[in-house]
Amino acid sequence: MPLTLCVLLWAVDGQVRSLARYEDEVLALVPRHGGRVLSRVRSMPGEDAARPTEVQVIEMPDDAALAAYMADPDRVALADLRDRSVARTEIVRVEQVVG
């Protein structure tokens, strides 16, 4: 069964560009696992740092596809960049609401 994820990301202080570069690279891998990036937005400069720097909505075919994406060797190889640029990540399973 397809799953939809809302991904909230906070940048390490002063690392918004690095976070964006990291996300550019790892989100390019999502289609490899049958997924789609439905939405990707970034907070405006000067916004409250307590709020997420970037929010994404990603659709994956199932849990196995998500696990394969998370373990993708190309994604894992970027762990150092992630550690330097992403302070916090929250992933929430969501469902589409129409109306």
Edge-to-edge strand list for the sheet holding 86-94: 36-42, 54-60, 3-11, 86-94
Report the pLDDT value the prediction gives residue 12, as an integer from 0 to 100: 96
For 19, residues 6+ apart whose C-beta sits below 8 A from its C-beta are 9, 11, 12, 53, 54, 85, 86
Domains located in the chain, CATH noted: 3-94 (3.30.70.100)
Report the pLDDT value the prediction gives residue 98, as an integer from 0 to 100: 84
Q: Are 90 and 8 in contact (CB under 8 A)?
A: yes
pLDDT averages per 10-residue partition of the chain, 99 residues: 96 96 98 98 90 98 98 98 98 91
Q: pTM for the complete prediction?
A: 0.93
Report the pLDDT value the prediction gives residue 31, as an integer from 0 to 100: 98
> Residue 16 CA to chain centroid, in angstroms?
14
Report the pLDDT value the prediction gives residue 73, as an integer from 0 to 100: 98
Report the pLDDT value the prediction gives residue 18, as an integer from 0 to 100: 97
Q: Are 85 and 10 in contact (CB under 8 A)?
A: no
The whole-angstrom separation of Cα 61 and Cα 66 is 8
